[in-house]
Structure 1
Amino acid sequence: MATILHIAFPDQWEAAKQAGCYRWSTRGKSLDDGATFIHASRPEQVAMVANFVYADVRQPLCLLVIDTERLVSALCDEDLDAIGISFPHIYGPLNLDAVVDVRPYERAADGRWPEVTAEAVS
């Protein structure tokens, strides 16, 4: 099973379960607001993204563990910002049955969002 991760606010995940699909692209943007894809990460990319995009967020987040083989929407690996790092992007809503686990994601003792290993989410 190949997995990718999506950083989410717990309340948005709860709302998605009620709605039947997840539509948040990233912090403050959803597919309903004109975003074209849902941002995802490989485990080794999570801390970099969290410490950039969610640097000022103090509340705990969660990590949606996504089985890529269960995705209904298209998945593309892209380096859209030409930074030399490609990220997985889900082009369309995230079907709930592709989310095989939801893990709490909290700041480390040093105040930064911690690294995530592949073993931690497998």
Structure 2
Amino acid sequence: MPNRPATAYKVLTSPQMADLEAGSFEGAPIDIQDGYIHLSTATQLTETVDKHFADQPDLWIAAVDLEALGDAIKWEVSRGGAEFPHLYGALTLETVIAYSPLEREDDGSIKLPVTG
């Protein structure tokens, strides 16, 4: 089994973040259509935002504890042959270890929420 990170990230709109803060997030329209919640690793996050959320205001980044989700996480091959973590089930606030408004570093990469 490849060495996989223990944390992944979900990009959320402000209304989706409000759902999560209320307890759980069932998925964006694309998640519901595909049957799972799309997550990205730290190294995949900037490309995900640039490709799927370009010019969208008021976005949030949630850091998700993959180990707490156990078997609900499946690593599946997606664009370019890369493995992405997919959550089969709802994202609950108790499995989110940090979240913050989407901000970029000076180099243009996405600033990760501060955990711990």
Q: For this structure pair, what is the TM-score category when the shorter chain's length is used for normalisation?
A: 0.7 to 0.9
- How far residue 7 of structure 1 moved from its aligned partner, in angstroms, is 0.6
Tell me if the contact between 2:20 and 2:92 (Cα under 8 Å) persists in the aligned partners: no
Residue 14 of structure 2, aligned match among 10, 14, 23:
10
Identity across the alignment (%): 27
Would you say the 8 A contact 1:41–1:87 is kept in 2? yes
| Whole-angstrom distance in 2 between the partners of 1:55 and 1:16 | 22
8 Å contact 2:9–2:41 — kept in the other structure?
A: yes
Partner Cα separation in structure 2 for residue 115 and residue 109 of structure 1: 7
Offset of residue 2 of structure 1? 1.4
Q: Is the 8 A contact 1:44 1:117 kept in 2?
A: no
Aligned equivalents of 1:47, 1:73: Cα separation in 2: 26
Q: Do 1:72 and 1:94's aligned partners in 2 also have CA atoms closer than 8 Å?
A: no
Cα distance in 1 for partners of 2:18, 2:70 equals 20
What residue in structure 2 maps to residue 21 of structure 1?
24
Secondary structure of 2:51's partner? Answer: helix
Match of 2:55, as an amino acid? Answer: D
> Which residue matches 2:67?
69
Structure with the larger helix share: 2
1:56 aligns with 2:55: yes
State the superposition RMSD in angstroms: 2.7
Aligned length: 111
Could you list the runs of 4 or more consecutive aligned residues of structure 1 that deviate by over 4 angstroms after TM superposition?
107-110
TM-score by length of 1: 0.74
Runs of at least 5 residues in structure 2 that lack an aligned partner in the other structure: none
Unaligned stretches of 5+ residues in structure 1: none
Contact 2:62-2:96 at 8 Å conserved across structures: yes
Superposition map of 1:37-56 within 5 A: 37-56=36-55
TM-score (norm 2): 0.78
